A and B are shown apart, each in its own frame.
Chain A
Amino acid sequence: MKSPSMRHNESSSLRVRALRGLGVALLVYTFAMTFGVPLGPGLERVDVLRSEITENGGAYELQLTGVGTHFADTASLVFVRSVGSFGQDPAILNATAIKAASNEDLKCRVRLPKYVPSQAWDVFVNNPIDGTISYANGFFAEGVQPTPKAGLKDDRAVLSRLAEADLPFHFPFQPNIMESIRNLMLHVPMWFTMFLLMGISFAQSIRVLRIGGDAERDRKAVAAVKVGLWFGVLGLLTGSLWARWTWGAWWVDDPQLNGAFVTVMVYAGYLVLRGSIQDDAMRERLSAVYNLFGFALLVVLLMVLPRFTESLHPGKGGNPAFSSYDLDSALRAAFYPAVVGWMILGTWMYAVALRIENLRARLGEAKRTAPGFAPGDAPRPNPSAAAHRAALPALLLPAQASGLEAFFVADGKMPVVAGVAVIIVAGLAVWWALHLAKLRALRRELDRLNPEEPAS
């Protein structure tokens, strides 16, 4: 039984190879950018070391803790700006006695009169290397009186003396997120790749239903869902790790996160449904209908509704985080190639999964037609797959919690990025190991059943 439709995708054409080469190159570029580009400077903390309150006002000694800053290498300007200010223009005041103890440690003094426009102040530092960095609402002045009629000497002139930043290519500093901003190139494209694969599956299922049963398109649909689910699970795991060290919880009751979880469960249900139906034609049609249903849920739950609801997840409540004006140019240069690279890898894995589905179908066909086939002739267990299964429980064991906290927040949360990268690389490596082994086993078995027709 030689079906031409089963044959045409067995050999990779030159164009496909070129595309895969591009994908690998983009992923190499992605990892080089993700781990190679430095993080820009920023303020991590502002503390009031000492304050002196008299009847004329207060003097406050502030300590500013920077990350990746150059306080000692160059002279810095420090100024504060009032927050709120009863709806009036904010006041700006210079700090004095600016002393850098090190590149990341700056002390200065702020003097406030008794009556101020606001007790809360944004803190700014400017120097010729770091440019302007800030800590919103970083300084709260105790002991002074907020009033709308505060006459305050205003140092607004400082705004015209600000130096531009002189920094190499870098990712922007975000408070709390810090180094883990690099996860943008790892966690987010997992979901994009899943969308693409589920979209492929959706298109195939529509064709199945329009034609009224088509075994090959049905196999394409199931292969795409299987690979897409793998990416979805990696997206959940990496997101959970990132959430733990950003929001402080492994899982947050949030429309975006719950939507992602429900979507992955719905697609897992697709595979369960398929497994439970014996009749081929029935399975094709039912699972195709279910697949349409699943894709519509995915679009609603992950792409449409989170934008209209309150959410902790970035990019929700109206603005997608990946829209062009929310992303810094350095992040864009890394993020867009990353998305394309992961998507190409996803379609490559889809091609491998499809090859397995096709071989399985041919094997089933061959078994039905082969004379004298012994049903008890089970395939030999694959030792490498068994080794992977044995390794899993060790990975899932809870690590010691106290050491974990210190470990992940060290180095500006860089270990979170490393953890996310390890999850993805390990997850994909397991996938490739399992599926290449499966592919080999299927080919061997097929060759054994009909030796006159080699299974490519």
Chain B
Amino acid sequence: MKRRHLVLVLLVATLMGIFISFITSTSRSVGFATAFADPGVEYKVSGTLVVAQPVVYDAQVNTNLTKFHMQDKEGAVREVWLQKSKPTGLERSESIDLYGFATPEGHFHATEMLMKCPSKYNEQNHLLEPGT
């Protein structure tokens, strides 16, 4: 088998790999704008917690409702009603993936939420360092 053929096979595989990851990573995550243009339909929205707004959870009122605000990648901020008890570490999550739908009342109703935790396996002290 000629070297040219080997290179060709590797090239095709690389292109296929790029194609597969392109499909799996970008197909589902949308901004709030898309979700709110289409209320009631399930979407995945990624973003970060808005710290200027409180995280509201009262176990005495409803153990399955946590309210907070999230900013999506395009900068839009919406109130989120998460249909779960308040997850540990929500306040210090690095990013949030929501699965749910927009409601006509103007909030995003999330049935499932995934959080990205700090990915650096270091001591927490860097929070005090300048520039953080």
Binding site for B on A (CB under 8 A): 40, 42, 44-45, 83-84, 118-120, 122, 124, 131-138, 140, 142, 146, 159, 172-177, 181, 184, 206, 209-210, 212, 246-249, 252-255, 258-259, 262, 285, 289, 292-297, 299-301, 304-306, 309-312, 314-316, 319, 321, 326-328, 331
Contact = CB atoms under 8 A, between A and B. Distances in A.
Contact of B1 (A136, A212, A249): A212
Size bracket, chain B contacts: 35 or more
A292 B9 contact: yes
A134 B121 CA distance: 15
B123 interface: yes
Interface string B8-35: 0110111011101100111011000000
B6 A120 contact: no
A289 B9 contact: yes
Nearest to A139: B91
Contact of B119 (A135, A172, A314): A314
A327 B20 CA distance: 30
A132 B128 contact: yes
Nearest to B49: A137
Contact of B89 (A176, A259, A311): A176
Nearest to B119: A314
B115 A132 contact: no
Contacts of B124: 42, 132-134, 172-175
Contacts of B51: 83-84, 118, 120, 137, 140
Given A176-B89, A296-B17, A321 B121 contact: yes
Contacts of A212: 1
Contact of B125 (A132, A248, A315): A132
13 contacts: A181-B121, A209-B6, A246-B117, A258-B21, A293-B9, A293-B13, A296-B9, A304-B17, A326-B120, A326-B122, A327-B122, A328-B122, A328-B123
Given A293-B9, A296-B17, 17 more contacts: A42-B124, A119-B52, A120-B51, A124-B128, A132-B128, A134-B124, A134-B128, A173-B124, A174-B124, A254-B25, A297-B16, A297-B17, A301-B17, A309-B25, A310-B29, A312-B116, A321-B119
A40 B95 contact: no
Contacts of B123: 40, 172-173, 328
A137 B91 contact: yes
B25 A310 contact: yes
A210 B14 CA distance: 21
Nearest to A326: B120
Nearest to B95: A310
A297 B121 contact: no
B83 to A, nearest CB: 13
- Chain B facing A: main interface SS: mixed
Given A247-B114, A305-B21, A326-B120, A137 B92 contact: yes
Contact of B21 (A120, A173, A255, A296): A255
B118 interface: yes
Contacts of A296: 9-10, 13-14, 17
A300 B92 contact: no
B46 interface: yes
Contacts of B128: 124, 132, 134, 159
Nearest to B29: A310
A206 B28 CA distance: 38
Interface in B81-132: 87-89, 91-92, 95, 97, 112-125, 127-128
Nearest to B99: A253
Given A83-B51, A310-B29, A326 B21 contact: no
A137 B50 CA distance: 10
B24 A253 contact: yes
A126 B123 CA distance: 14
B65 interface: no
The 4 closest A-B pairs by CB, nearest first: A300-B17, A296-B13, A314-B119, A136-B92
Contacts of A206: 6
B14 A300 contact: yes
A441 to B, nearest CB: 36
A305 B116 CA distance: 18
Contacts of A258: 20-21, 24
Given A84-B51, A248-B114, A134 B21 contact: no
* Interface core residue of A122, A136, A255, A328 (most chain B CB under 10 Å): A136
A138 B21 contact: no
Given A83-B51, A120-B51, A297-B16, A172 B25 contact: no
Contacts of A259: 20-21, 24
B52 A174 contact: no
A311 B52 CA distance: 25
B54 A142 contact: yes
Given A124-B128, A255-B25, A328-B121, A292 B55 contact: no
